[in-house]
Structure 1
Amino acid sequence: MTAFKVIVMGVSGCGKSLTGTMLASELGVRFYDADDYHSPANVEKMAAGIPLTDEDRRGWLDDLAELIRREEGGLVLACSALKRCYRARLLDCNPEARFVYLKGDFETIWARHSRRTDHYFNGRAMLESQFQLLEEPASDENAIVVDVSGTPGQIITQCVTGLGLRGGGGRN
């Protein structure tokens, strides 16, 4: 049996955690949220509305790449992976991993984001900074693009079909 290694990526509020949890269940693998691996200093910065730098993310990305490598049975990881260089770091020693890019426009995601509670990611300016930082996956990055405007079930069907795992079936 193939060990599925999937990284669900996109800006904050696009649905990475929900999609990742549902997709992991569908694939029968463990789900991990990259947010759980941020250092306390990174969490403090984000809670204060300060965007992270590449340097802030370096150790975090190294830890996530190691997590992907060691999960031999497969996994789904929810991770922003906004830049091509971040995605390349995650694939280091993990060339079999696939990306699912949850794509949506700013207003749709901001509407979802503004309804969230109990999350350290703070404010419209931070979401704007993520959109500015975002480098959408190129055709050579082994990624599929999934529109976030559908229901969670429709999004999972798009993921399963796009990853070529099976035809998917009328989830709502």
Structure 2
Amino acid sequence: MMTKRIVVLGVSGSGKSLIGKNIADQLGYPFFDGDDFHSQANVDKMRQGTPLNDDDRKDWLATLNALLINNPAAVIACSGLKPEYRSMLRNGLDDVTMIYLKGDIDTIWQRHQKRDGHYFNGRNMLESQFATLIEPTEDEAFVIDISQEADVVLNEALTLLAKK
């Protein structure tokens, strides 16, 4: 039986929202974009180009964990940059499947430059995410290379989820 709680991980611009929403649509699950659950203080900080720290992310991750607990079927897009963040997302749950969208900084920066109106501000913010990132192991998440077309990434994710 396929896991019904799915978290799509990756740095800003890796395609978490697009792929997560498409997975949710394909499976008929609700989709929650982690970006929509940041406090105003976090959004303001990022808009000013200041990276978030562990303390800034703590309440946000607890909110996303509560969404997973309260929704037996859901897809959430969340950066999940460190093992401890991913642990906070899974807290109290043993049926969360994580998908990590892996890409290099140059590919992702090119995508960032095509975005309009997103509060995530500047290459230094992206570099700070890569500096913070401790990539999930294959034991922790399905790892998908995002240098492929979005449809290929989506199909790979759905194929991997079907095996879970």
- TM-score class, shorter-chain normalisation, is over 0.9
Per the TM alignment, residue 28 of structure 1 is displaced from its structure 2 partner at its CA by 1.1
Per the TM alignment, residue 112 of structure 1 is displaced from its structure 2 partner at its CA by 0.3
Hey, what does 1:119 align to over in structure 2? 118
Runs of 5+ consecutive residues of structure 1 not aligned to the other structure? 167-172
Is 1:60 the counterpart of 2:63? The answer is no
Instruction: Report runs of 4+ in structure 1 exceeding 6 Å deviation.
Output: none
- Secondary structure of the structure 1 residue equivalent to 2:45: helix
Identity %: 48
Per the TM alignment, residue 157 of structure 1 is displaced from its structure 2 partner at its CA by 0.9
Is 1:71 the counterpart of 2:71? The answer is yes
Q: Which moved more, 1:157-166 or 1:93-102?
A: 157-166
Distance 1:115 1:89, change over 3 A: same
Mapping for residues 9-158 of structure 1, pairs under 5 Å: 9-72=9-72, 74-141=73-140, 143-158=141-156
- Secondary structure of the structure 1 residue equivalent to 2:139: helix
Per-residue CA deviation, residues 40-79 of structure 1 (Å, 9 max, x unaligned), is 000000000000010001111111101100102x011000
Q: Structure 2 CA distance, aligned partners of 1:51 and 1:2?
A: 35
- Secondary structure of the structure 1 residue equivalent to 2:116: coil
Q: Aligned pairs, how many?
A: 164
- Secondary structure of the structure 1 residue equivalent to 2:99: strand
Contact 2:2 2:163 in 1 (8 A): no
Is 1:4 the counterpart of 2:30? The answer is no
Amino acid in the other structure paired with 1:61: L
Per the TM alignment, residue 160 of structure 1 is displaced from its structure 2 partner at its CA by 1.2
Runs of 5+ consecutive residues of structure 2 not aligned to the other structure? none
Contact 2:8 2:99 in 1 (8 A): yes
- Secondary structure of the structure 2 residue equivalent to 1:164: helix
- Secondary structure of the structure 2 residue equivalent to 1:149: coil
Per the TM alignment, residue 104 of structure 1 is displaced from its structure 2 partner at its CA by 0.5
Which structure's relative contact order is higher, taking Cα pairs within 8 Å and 6+ residues apart?
Answer: 2
Amino acid in the other structure paired with 1:151: E
TM, length-normalised to structure 2: 0.96
Distance 1:109 1:45, change over 3 A: same
Amino acid in the other structure paired with 2:18: L
TM, length-normalised to structure 1: 0.91
- Secondary structure of the structure 1 residue equivalent to 2:162: coil
